[in-house]
């Protein structure tokens, strides 16, 4: 019989929905040893958070995260609020003996990341960061194929993460365009995913050189906003983060990488693409065709790319999902992540990826920011 884990979620907008859906689905699709109980959701607007709780099946609400963290009936604090709030909540949760699950990027500064890591280590709680794209069957399969040496020594890493939701200069401000809440723009929001995928598949990044740019420096002030939509209020507000970032990377293992992140690429919706060229082959994946992993092997005399349908057969995660031919989407990546987390906690293991991966990802982003200032290659701090 499965035991239970009481969840307290902070944040009830875009990520709040994605995480709530994951808690509802994980135990129904996966055979888990630990069942999540949706105990409490927390947000500052009482009426809105009450409505959210009703709609998504949370037992109770809080309007102050401190109350949530102190509750005896909460075992795990899930942080789905903006980056600027992560450190304080995660550290308090760890000190209160709660496991912590945190959205990306781990925090807006490397210092905060280090303190978060120290806090979870000191209290011995389990910790996980939600890099959901690792949890697509295609990326999990790519990892297995690299470990089985199917593409040999990786030489080139090419990451592009392109979106277009900010291309209209009339799109109003929200927290994602303010440095004090988001830390960075496309660089942190999208770059974090690319850096994590590259680190997951290829390993540590040692040095970087890059540039960032803000093309649209002023936008209509925020009226209302939710997720990636909003309405304008009165007047305008300066944009204090980048619209795009571009950098080169030297991997500790010898590979060279290029990374581009932007929210100003018309037509590109969630074009999160990674391509790896190795001595024996190539792997390529893009979220806009998320169920397909492209594979080219130099051993194949027919010299063509193979489109592997990663959602078929016994590919990662597929034992839990639909009959053959029925594919997965964005929401499933969150369910897979939560299932991995619950199973790891049930087995008294730390889930993957944990805060260490989150901190090392921010270390890369941070080194790029230093390089933008210095105009030079910068070393990436290695967090152990
Ligand atoms: C917006 O750019 C966003 O929702 C990111 O914040 C997510 O992390 C990414 O998965 C999709 O795009």
Query: 60-62 and 229-238: which strand pairing?
Result: unpaired
Domain limits of the chain?
Answer: 4-133, 137-289+291-327+361-374
Residue 103: closest CA among 162, 15, 6: 15
Ligand 1 close to Cβ of residue 164 (< 6 A): no
Q: In DSSP terms, which residues pair with 13 in a beta bridge? A: none
Two structure tokens written together for 103: 């959205």
Please choose from 13, 134, 190 the residue to mutate so as to test ligand 1's pocket, defined by most ligand atoms within 8 A of CB: 190
Q: Which two tokens stand for residue 261?
A: 């992140």
Q: Any idea of the CA torsion for 258, 363, 16, 95, to the nearest 10 degrees? A: 160
| The domains spanning 4-133 and 137-289+291-327+361-374 adopt the same CATH topology | no
58-82 tens-digit pLDDT: 999 999 999 999 999 999 999 999 9
In the CATH scheme, what architecture does the domain 137-289+291-327+361-374 have?
2-Layer Sandwich (3.30)
204-253: pLDDT as tens digits: 999 999 999 999 999 999 999 888 999 999 999 999 999 999 999 999 99
Interstrand relation of 244-251 and 256-262 (parallel, antiparallel or unpaired): antiparallel
List, for residues 158-183, the tens digit of each pLDDT value.
999 999 999 999 999 999 999 999 99
Which phi and psi (to 5°) does residue 233 adopt? -100, -150
Cα 134 to middle of ligand 1, angstroms: 14
pTM over 0.85: yes
Cα Rg of the chain (Å, integer)? 21
Q: Are 246 and 260 in contact (CB under 8 A)?
A: yes
Site to substitute for ligand 1 among 106, 130, 165, 189, most atoms within 8 A of C-beta: 189
Question: 4-133 adopts what CATH topology?
Answer: Rossmann fold (3.40.50)
Q: Is the CB of 270 under 6 A from ligand 1?
A: yes
Q: What share of the chain is helix, strand, coil (3-state, %, to 5)?
A: 35, 30, 35
Q: Is the CB of 189 under 6 A from ligand 1?
A: yes
Any ligand 1 atom below 6 A from CB of 333 = no
Helix axes 83-95, 110-123, angle to 10 degrees: 20
């Amino acid at each position: 019989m499965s035991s239970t884990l009481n969840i307290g979620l902070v944040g009830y907008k875009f990520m709040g929905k994605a995480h709530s859906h994951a808690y509802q689905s994980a135990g129904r699709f996966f055979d888990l040893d630990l069942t999540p109980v949706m105990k409490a959701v927390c947000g500052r607007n009482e009426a809105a958070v009450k409505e959210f709780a009703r709609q998504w099946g949370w037992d109770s609400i809080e309007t102050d995260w401190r109350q949530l963290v102190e509750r005896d009936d909460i075992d795990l604090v899930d942080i789905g609020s903006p980056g600027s709030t992560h450190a304080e909540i995660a550290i308090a949760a760890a000190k209160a003996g709660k496991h912590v699950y945190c959205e990306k990027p781990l925090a807006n500064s490397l210092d905060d990341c280090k303190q978060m890591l120290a806090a979870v280590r000191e209290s011995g709680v389990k910790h996980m960061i939600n890099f959901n794209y690792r949890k697509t069957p295609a990326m999990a399969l790519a990892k297995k194929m690299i470990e089985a040496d199917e593409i040999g020594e990786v030489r080139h890493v090419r990451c592009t993460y392109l979106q277009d939701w900010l291309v209209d200069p009339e799109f109003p401000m929200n927290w994602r365009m303010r440095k004090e809440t988001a830390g960075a723009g496309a660089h942190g929001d999208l770059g974090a995913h690319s850096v994590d995928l590259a680190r997951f598949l290829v390993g540590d990044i040692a040095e970087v050189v890059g540039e960032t740019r803000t093309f649209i420096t002023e936008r209509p002030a925020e009226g209302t906003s939710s997720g990636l939509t909003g309405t304008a209020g009165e007047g305008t507000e300066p944009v204090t983060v980048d619209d795009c970032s571009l950098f080169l990377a030297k991997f500790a293992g010898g590979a060279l990488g290029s990374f581009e992140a932007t929210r100003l690429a018309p037509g590109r919706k969630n074009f999160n693409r990674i391509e790896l060229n190795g001595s024996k082959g190539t792997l390529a994946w893009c979220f806009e065709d998320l169920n397909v992993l492209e594979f080219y092997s130099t051993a194949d005399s027919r010299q063509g790319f193979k489109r592997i349908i990663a959602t078929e057969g016994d590919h990662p995660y597929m034992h839990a999902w639909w009959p053959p031919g029925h594919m997965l989407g964005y929401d499933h990546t969150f369910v897979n992540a939560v299932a991995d987390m619950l199973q790891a906690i049930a087995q008294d293991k730390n889930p993957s990826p944990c805060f260490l991966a989150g901190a090392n990802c921010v270390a890369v982003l941070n080194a790029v920011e230093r390089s933008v200032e210095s105009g030079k290659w910068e070393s990436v701090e290695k967090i152990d």
